[in-house]
C-alpha cells in the first residue's frame, strides 16, 4: 500500500497570555486534524509573544523543563486524543541552562525527545544569545507514526548543512517553526521572500517537502532600537520536493495550510536524482581544512 502523509502549518498571532496562546493553538490543531492533517506544525515559541526583542532577565522565569512545559503537556493530551504528531516549540530550562527547544510528540501522545536549536541569532530585535545556549543535541530525525520528520528551529532554516544533516539521517519531511518579521534597524528591509527561497532550496537539494510556520501581527513588546513592537510577516508555506509552493499564506492571514505527499514516490524519486549517491564528503572535508602557507 502506498505510504502517504498529510501535513499542516499553523499561522496565527499570539499575545502575552500563555494559557490563551496554548488554547488558540489547540483550536488550530483541531482544525488541521479535521482537514486530515497527521503531522501539524505550530510556530516557534507559540506560548507567548516573542520576547527576544530586548534583554530582560524576567523572561528566564518563563522557561520549563521540557517534559513539564505547559505547552508540551497540552499538546501531548491533544496528540493522544486526535492521534496526530505535533512538533512543539518551547523555551526550555535544564538545570542552569536555557535552550530554544522542540519536543517531538508522536501520534498517541508519546514524547519522543527534544531538539535544541543549533544556530542562535543575535541582532537588533532578535537577541537570542542572551536567552539561549547553542543546542547540544545535534540535528535529529524522528520516526513518527506517519513519516520520518526532521525539524530545525527558525535561524536553523538559513543553513543548508542543517537540512542535509537531517536528510542524511533519513528524514522524509523537513519542518521549520519560526518567529521572524521586521528588522528594527532597517524599516526598508523585508526578508520574507529570501526566507521562503532558502527553504525551497532545501526542498530541491534534498528532494523532500518543507513545511514552515511563522507568526503574524505586531506584538506589544518593545524593541529599544526603534521603540515599537515587532511585526511578524507570516508567509507560512508548504513546498513540495521541487521547491514549488503548494500552499501559502500571506502576511496577515490566520489558519492552517494542509497538503498531502506520497512518501513512496518521494523515496524512489530521491534515489533517482542521485544527490546522495554522488556526494563526496571526503572532498568537502579536504576543502574545509586549513591550507598550508605558501
Q: Which residues are catalytic, by number?
A: 44, 117, 154
Q: What is the DSSP string of 201-257?
A: HHHHHHTS-EEEE--EEEEEEEETTTTEEEEEE---EEE-TTS-EEEE--SS--EEE
Measured distance CA(8)–CA(238) in Å, rounded: 8
Measured distance CA(180)–CA(44) in Å, rounded: 9
98 grid coordinates: 536555557
**Helix, strand, coil percentages, rounded to 5, for the chain:** 30, 30, 40
Measured distance CA(244)–CA(121) in Å, rounded: 28
In the block, residue with C-alpha cell 506589544: 220
- Which of helix, strand or coil describes residue 188? coil
Question: Any residues with CB less than 8 A from the CB of 200 and at least 6 apart, and which?
Answer: 210, 239, 243, 244, 245
Amino acid at each position: 500500500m502506498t505510504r502517504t502523509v498529510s501535513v499542516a502549518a499553523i499561522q496565527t498571532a499570539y499575545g502575552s497570555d500563555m494559557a490563551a496562546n496554548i488554547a488558540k493553538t489547540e483550536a488550530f490543531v483541531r482544525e488541521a486534524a479535521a482537514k486530515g492533517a497527521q503531522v501539524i506544525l505550530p510556530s516557534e515559541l507559540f506560548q507567548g509573544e516573542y520576547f527576544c526583542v530586548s534583554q530582560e532577565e524576567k523572561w528566564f522565569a518563563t522557561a520549563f523543563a521540557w517534559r513539564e512545559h505547559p505547552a508540551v503537556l497540552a499538546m501531548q493530551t491533544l496528540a493522544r486524543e486526535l492521534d496526530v504528531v505535533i512538533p512543539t516549540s518551547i523555551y526550555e530550562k535544564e538545570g542552569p541552562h536555557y535552550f530554544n527547544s522542540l519536543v517531538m510528540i508522536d501520534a498517541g501522545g508519546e514524547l519522543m525527545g527534544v531538539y535544541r536549536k543549533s544556530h542562535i541569532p543575535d541582532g537588533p530585535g532578535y537577541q537570542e544569545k542572551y536567552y539561549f545556549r547553542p543546542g547540544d543535541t545535534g540535528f535529529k530525525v524522528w520516526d513518527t507514526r506517519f513519516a520520518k520528520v526532521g525539524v530545525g528551529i527558525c535561524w536553523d532554516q538559513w543553513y543548508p548543512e542543517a537540512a542535509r544533516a537531517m536528510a542524511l539521517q533519513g528524514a522524509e519531511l523537513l519542518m521549520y517553526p519560526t518567529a521572524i518579521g521586521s528588522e528594527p534597524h532597517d524599516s526598508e528591509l523585508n526578508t520574507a521572500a529570501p526566507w521562503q527561497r532558502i527553504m525551497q532550496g532545501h526542498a530541491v537539494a534534498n528532494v523532500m517537502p518543507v513545511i514552515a510556520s511563522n507568526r503574524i501581527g505586531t506584538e506589544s513588546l518593545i524593541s529599544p532600537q526603534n521603540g515599537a513592537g515587532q511585526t511578524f510577516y507570516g508567509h507560512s508555506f508548504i513546498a513540495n520536493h521541487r521547491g514549488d509552493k503548494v500552499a501559502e499564506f500571506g502576511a496577515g492571514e490566520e489558519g492552517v495550510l494542509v497538503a498531502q505527499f506520497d512518501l513512496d514516490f518521494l523515496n524512489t524519486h530521491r534515489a533517482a536524482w542521485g544527490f546522495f549517491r554522488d556526494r563526496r564528503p571526503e572532498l568537502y572535508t579536504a576543502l574545509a581544512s586549513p591550507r598550508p602557507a605558501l
